[in-house]
A and B are shown apart, each in its own frame.
Chain A
Amino acid sequence: MNKEWPLWEVFVRARNGLAHKHAGSVHAADARMAIEAARDTYTRRMEGVSLWLVPSASIVASDPGEAGSLFEPAADKVYRHPTFYSIPENIKNI
C-alpha cells in the first residue's frame, strides 16, 4: 500500500464570538489525527479555541470562470444599499 493520507481543510475559531476561519490544510488518516495535526500545525501560539476539519474532497467551490455570472449582477443593484436614497437633512433618526 502506497497511498497518501487524505487532505483536510482546517478552520480555526480564534475565540468564542468569532466564526471559524480557514487556516490551511493537513494530511491525516482519520478525523482524530486530523484534529491533532491541525492543533500542532496551526495553533502553536494560542491562535484558536476550536477547530473544524473538513475533508478537502467534500468542499464544493464556485468556478472562477463563473464569477461574472454569479457575482456581477449585484453591481447594478445599488438600490440595495441605504446610501442610494436621499433623505432631507431635517429628517432625523433614519
Chain B
Amino acid sequence: MYTTELSDKNKKPSAAAMANEDPVRLAAFEARVAADNFIEPKDWMPEAYRKTLIRQISQHAHSEIVGMLPEGNWITRAPSLRRKAVLLAKVQDEGGHGLYLYAAAETLGTSRDEMIEALHSGRAKYSTIFNYPTLTWADIGAIGWLVDGAAIMNQVPLQRTSYGPYARAMVRICKEESFHQRQGYEITMTLAAGSPEQKRMAQDALDRWWWPSLMMFGPPDDNSPNSAQSIRWRIKRETNDQLRQRFVDVTVPQAEAIGLRVPDPALKWNEARESYDFGEIDWEEFYAVVRGEGPVAKERMNARVKAWADGAWVREAALAHAAKRNGRLAAE
C-alpha cells in the first residue's frame, strides 16, 4: 500500500532553511543525487531532505499498518479456507511492509516510538484510502485489485528513489505486492462471473473504490507543493498526475475484460493522447478525508491506539524478562 505525501500546503522546505546549509556540501549532494547516486544513512544530507524523507517514509509505514484494519475485518468471514489463508498472508505482508519502512525511517534519526506517537496523536497522516469501510466481501477483491494496483503504480518508481534504505525496502515490497493485486483481481473476477447478485456486489465495490483509488495518487500536480523539490531530489520519480493516468490506462481494460463498468461517465479513450480522458476528481472529499473526516477515520485510529495500549504490558514484560536473564547470566 502506499500513501502519497500529505503535508501541509505551506510547509514547503523554505528557502531560508536551505540557506543555512553549507553551500559546498549542498552542491556536492545535489550533484550526487542528480547523477542518480544513492544517499546512505551516514552520508551528509540537507535537513529538508531528511525531514521530507522521514515524513514520507513514516506516512508510508503508517499506511501499511492502518491498511491491515479494513482487510483484517474480513479474515474471519472469508468465504473459503483458501481465501482465508490468502487474506491472512496478505495482511501479514502489510504488517511486514510497515516494519521494513519504519526501520528505513529510523536510519534517518527518528525513533519508532516517535513515529507511532505522531500517528496516534494525529500529527502524522496515512493514506486516505483506509478511512473507507469494507462493507462486503467484494471490497476485499476491490482493495487488492485497485488499492494495491495503485500502490504498485506508485511504488515501482520508488525502487529507484535516492535514499538507499527506502529504495531497498521498496524493492522488497514491490516483489510481494504483485501477489496482492492478483489475488484481488481473482476475487473480483470470480464474483463478476458468478450469480447476478455476486456480479452486483463486484460492481458495487468497484463503484465505491474507484474514485478513492484515484485519490491515492495525491493532489493534482498544480496543487502539490512539495512535488518539484521531491522530484529534483529523486525522492519521487514521477508526478501524481502521471502515475494516476497510467493507473487509469491499465485498469480500465481490466474492468472491461470481466464485464464491469468503471463509474465515470466522462471516461473516454483519447486516440490522440493514446490514453483515457477521465472525469474530475472530488478534491473536497479528498481533503476532508485527509483532515480525518473519512467515514471510519475515528474507528481506525481508536483500533490502533487500543492495540498499542493493550500491548504495553507485553513490551514492558519482555524487557524486564531480558534484563533479569542478562543479570543472571552476568552473575554466573
CB within 8 Å for A40 and B112 given contacts A1-B319, A29-B318: no
CB within 8 Å for A64 and B42 given contacts A27-B112, A41-B99: yes
Residues from chain B with Cβ under 8 Å of A7 in the complex = 103, 106
Q: Tell me whether chain B's interface is mostly helix, strand or loop, or mixed.
A: helix
Whether, in the assembled complex, B273 has its beta carbon less than 8 Å from a beta carbon of chain A, the answer is no
Find out whether the CB atom of A41 lies under 8 angstroms from the CB atom of B112. no
Whether, in the assembled complex, A77 has its beta carbon less than 8 Å from a beta carbon of chain B, the answer is no
Central interface residue in A4, A5, A26, A44, by most chain B CB within 10 Å: A4
Residues from chain A with Cβ under 8 Å of B11 in the complex = none
Find out whether the CB atom of A4 lies under 8 angstroms from the CB atom of B113. yes
Find out whether the CB atom of B318 lies under 8 angstroms from the CB atom of A1. no
Find out whether the CB atom of B106 lies under 8 angstroms from the CB atom of A63. no
Residues from chain A with Cβ under 8 Å of B316 in the complex = 1
Least Cβ distance of B312 to chain A in Å? 8
Whether, in the assembled complex, A3 has its beta carbon less than 8 Å from a beta carbon of chain B, the answer is yes
Least Cβ distance of B105 to chain A in Å? 11
Find out whether the CB atom of A40 lies under 8 angstroms from the CB atom of B318. no
Q: In the complex, A63 Cα to B92 Cα: how many Å? A: 36
Find out whether the CB atom of A30 lies under 8 angstroms from the CB atom of B322. yes
CB within 8 Å for A44 and B322 given contacts A25-B103, A61-B42: no
Find out whether the CB atom of A24 lies under 8 angstroms from the CB atom of B103. yes
Chain B 166-216 interface residues, beta-carbon cutoff 8 Å to A: 168-169, 172, 176
Residues from chain A with Cβ under 8 Å of B99 in the complex = 24, 26, 41
Interface string of A23-35 (1 = CB under 8 A from B): 0111101100100
Find out whether the CB atom of B315 lies under 8 angstroms from the CB atom of A5. yes
Q: In the complex, A1 Cα to B44 Cα: how many Å? A: 34
From A5, A41, A44, A65, contact of B318 by CB (8 A):
A5
Least Cβ distance of B38 to chain A in Å? 12
Whether, in the assembled complex, B242 has its beta carbon less than 8 Å from a beta carbon of chain A, the answer is no
From A3, A25, A61, A63, contact of B319 by CB (8 A):
A3
Whether, in the assembled complex, A92 has its beta carbon less than 8 Å from a beta carbon of chain B, the answer is no
Residues from chain B with Cβ under 8 Å of A61 in the complex = 42
Residues from chain A with Cβ under 8 Å of B322 in the complex = 29-30
From B43, B93, B106, contact of A64 by CB (8 A):
B43
Whether, in the assembled complex, A45 has its beta carbon less than 8 Å from a beta carbon of chain B, the answer is yes
* Chain A: CB-nearest residue to B104: A24
Find out whether the CB atom of B176 lies under 8 angstroms from the CB atom of A45. yes
Find out whether the CB atom of B106 lies under 8 angstroms from the CB atom of A25. yes
Whether, in the assembled complex, B123 has its beta carbon less than 8 Å from a beta carbon of chain A, the answer is no
Find out whether the CB atom of A29 lies under 8 angstroms from the CB atom of B96. no
Least Cβ distance of A68 to chain B in Å? 12
Interface string of A1-21 (1 = CB under 8 A from B): 101110100000000000000
From B42, B96, B112, B168, contact of A63 by CB (8 A):
B42
Whether, in the assembled complex, B40 has its beta carbon less than 8 Å from a beta carbon of chain A, the answer is yes
Find out whether the CB atom of B318 lies under 8 angstroms from the CB atom of A33. yes
Whether, in the assembled complex, B286 has its beta carbon less than 8 Å from a beta carbon of chain A, the answer is no
CB within 8 Å for A30 and B325 given contacts A5-B318, A64-B43: yes
Interface string of B93-134 (1 = CB under 8 A from A): 100100110011010000111000000000000000000000
Q: In the complex, A34 Cα to B103 Cα: how many Å? A: 14
Whether, in the assembled complex, B320 has its beta carbon less than 8 Å from a beta carbon of chain A, the answer is yes
Whether, in the assembled complex, B9 has its beta carbon less than 8 Å from a beta carbon of chain A, the answer is no
Find out whether the CB atom of A41 lies under 8 angstroms from the CB atom of B100. yes
From A5, A44, A63, contact of B93 by CB (8 A):
A44
Q: In the complex, A40 Cα to B95 Cα: how many Å? A: 10
Q: Give 6 CB contacts A-B under 8 Å.
A: A3-B319, A4-B112, A41-B96, A61-B42, A63-B42, A65-B44
